[in-house]
A and B are shown apart, each in its own frame.
Chain A
Amino acid sequence: MRSMMTSTGTAANIRTAVLILVFLCLGSSKSIAAEASEPNGPSKEASLAAKVFDEGKTAFAILTISICGLVVVCTELARRGKPFYVRPIAGLQAIEEAVGRSTEMGKPILYVAGLEDLNEIDTVAGLTILSGVAKVAAEYDTPLEVPTSRALVMTAAREAVQAAALAAGRPDYYDEDRIYYITYEQFGFVASVCGWIYREKPAACFYLGKFFAESLILAETGNAVSAIQIAGTAETTQLPFFVAACDYTLIGEELFAASAYLSGEPAQLGMLKGQDLGKLAAILLITVGSLLATWDSISPRGNDADGKPLPRRSHLITETVLKGG
């Protein structure tokens, strides 16, 4: 029943969005007709602004729709019962182990959802995992501390933890004083969190979201108090620090797969499969592009009849499929 309600609500959202966009497009077509009937044509900038669709981005639009379409098709297949296998992710399987360790030691858990705001998808992914961690922590009745660097993230984190406590059947577990805003200043935030780690000595630390230079300071401080540490970020420059200092690291896309992995919902698992098909398409493009570029370097095309250099063979990929991106 709940999945039907969710799908009905989702379908309603999509219908509403499509209706509004169609309305906007109809309105824009009227404005284009009005512009065309003017005696003096509009300037180039004005004509570009009045255009409904930028033709230069056609190829990229097709690529975007294809990848999104793949994801949606796989979601529908999963909803209709097609099973999809998702490999185990060690960092997510260790959540219960980490929370259990904290419970045995009588120490709190620290969760840092990154340093960016709610407009970053890494933060949204971090908050999704926070729900899962909070649910397990509520079941074990282990205190969960969530310092945040943005007020909006604090608000969303409070909602997530409260809902998780309700889902675990422990509404009294939720304590809003444990989810608080510190500062948006990078090193001010990490100084406060590190001070808390040294004083309270948590048994488990989670760093899941967007991090920058402060990542190693956090990880090393947690290591100094012998906490089990699970980290995850999409920032490639910070991954080596987390891998070196933490027990488990979610690398790149594993952070985004967490929502589907933890919920186990067929629709979300289907989206993971769509993601994999998108990766397959990327592999194909890279392979073909590499072969064409190698062919170009071994046997260049030379010049045409007018003496102008012919376009490279690899432009078949870069100037068509990827143009406009």
Chain B
Amino acid sequence: MSKSVPVAIASLVGFLMIVAYFSPYLLPWRQAAEDWYSIIAAIAMVYGGVNLCIHHLKKISDREAGWGFSAVTVLAFAFTVVAGLLKLGVVPESVANLDHAWSGRFQQEGGLLWWNFQYLMSPIVSTMFALLAFYVASAAFRAFRAKNIEAVLLLATALIVLIGQTKDREITSLFMPAPTDGSSPYLPIADVTEFIRKTFVTSGQRAIIIGVSLGVVATSLRVLLGLDRNYLGGDE
């Protein structure tokens, strides 16, 4: 019984979302279901924040390994919540609201929350993103080894695609003899790159997408028909 009600709700709402695509009459119901989901997700976010605090405060109190990171997390969380909720540094935006201190938007430029995002959050996120370049290089160095014919083909394709992304015409023109018609010499590596992307890559990607789409249909049907209940903790 405790699993039947959630499965029934999931089935009804799921089928409603599917049928509403074909039936304009049901679109308001579909919109209502999406709004309900947004409300539940917002409540879940509060639950997640509370869980975050409890998890890290427990680590600090138990002095577990790495508790210093938990202390920084809790401090940053508290700072952001206070700055956003109290709208610290935010000023009224219109003359009519001068008497209302909290009438400005909480993301107002110059406010403490904006400053937090602009000068702390963004640089940190950009730093993590920049690490990707080094990880790509290390993964490529490890993966692209010419051990057999397939690996050699992979390596050659990777080299062509890599050079094609750069200023290949300027680079290759340095090593080639000038043609008799006076034009600049170059190897059409970028054209080969484009050909590889448009034919081999696109076709392979589309094949995977077709398989994924059918997999999504089958998995969704399993969930909607109640055959797969692992997301609820399995069968009773």
- Is B183 on the interface with A (CB-CB < 8 A)? no
On whether the beta carbons of B230 and A252 are closer than 8 Å, the reply is no
Interface residues on A, range: 35 or more
Q: Whole-angstrom distance between the alpha carbons of A301 and B119 in the complex?
A: 62
**Which of chain A's residues have a CB closer than 8 A to the CB of B37?**
119
CB neighbours (8 Å) of B125 from chain A are: 185-188
Task: List B contacts of A109 (CB < 8 A).
Answer: none
9-residue interface stretch from B5-13, B83-91, B95-103, B187-195: B5-13
Contact: B142 with A244, CB < 8 Å?
Answer: yes
Q: With A124-B231, A252-B212 as given contacts, are A213 and B129 in contact (CB-CB < 8 Å)? A: yes
Q: CA separation between A185 and B129, bound complex, in Å?
A: 12
How many pairs of A and B residues are in contact by the CB < 8 Å rule? 220
A86 an interface residue at 8 Å Cβ cutoff? no
Apart from A75-B227, A124-B231, A259-B228, what 16 extra A-B contacts exist at CB < 8 Å?
Answer: A6-B227, A9-B7, A54-B22, A61-B22, A131-B234, A151-B51, A162-B233, A184-B48, A191-B124, A217-B131, A253-B211, A256-B219, A268-B222, A275-B214, A275-B217, A282-B214
Assess whether A294 is interfacial by the CB under 8 Å rule: no
What separation, in Å, do the CA atoms of A118 and B41 have in the docked complex?
Answer: 10
Interface flags, A213-248, vs B, CB<8A=1, else 0: 110110110010000000000101001010011000
Contacts of B234 in A (CB 8 A): 131, 160, 163-164, 167
Q: In the complex the two chains form, what is the Cα distance from A241 to B139 in whole Å? A: 8
Cα A279 to Cα B228 with chains together (Å): 22
Q: With A150-B44, A151-B48 given, is the CB distance from A128 to B228 under 8 Å?
A: yes
Interface residues of B (CB under 8 A from A): 4, 7-8, 11-12, 15-16, 18-19, 21-27, 29, 37, 40-41, 44-45, 47-49, 51-52, 55, 58, 65-66, 69, 121, 124-125, 128-129, 131-132, 135-136, 138-140, 142-143, 205, 208-212, 214-223, 225-228, 230-235
Interface residues of A in 147-179 (CB under 8 A from B): 150-152, 154-156, 159-160, 162-164, 167, 177
Asked whether any CB of chain B lies closer than 8 Å to the CB of A28, the reply is yes
* B205 close to A236 (CB less than 8 A): yes
Q: Is A68 an interface residue (CB 8 A)?
A: yes
Dominant SS among interface residues on chain B: helix
Evaluate contact between B15 and A152: CB separation under 8 angstroms. Answer: no
Known: A177-B58, A217-B135. A156 touches B231 (CB 8 A): yes
Q: Is A144 an interface residue when CB atoms closer than 8 A count as contact? A: no
Q: CB within 8 Å of B: which residues of A? A: 2, 6, 9-10, 13-14, 16-17, 20-21, 24, 28, 31, 48-54, 57, 60-61, 64, 67-68, 71-72, 75, 117-119, 121, 124-125, 127-128, 130-131, 150-152, 154-156, 159-160, 162-164, 167, 177, 180-188, 190-191, 195, 199, 213-214, 216-217, 219-220, 223, 234, 236, 239, 241, 244-245, 251-253, 255-257, 259-260, 265, 267-268, 271-272, 274-275, 278-279, 282
Between A and B, 11 residue pairs with Cβ closer than 8 Å are A152-B40, A152-B44, A186-B125, A216-B132, A216-B136, A252-B208, A271-B218, A272-B218, A274-B218, A279-B211, A282-B210
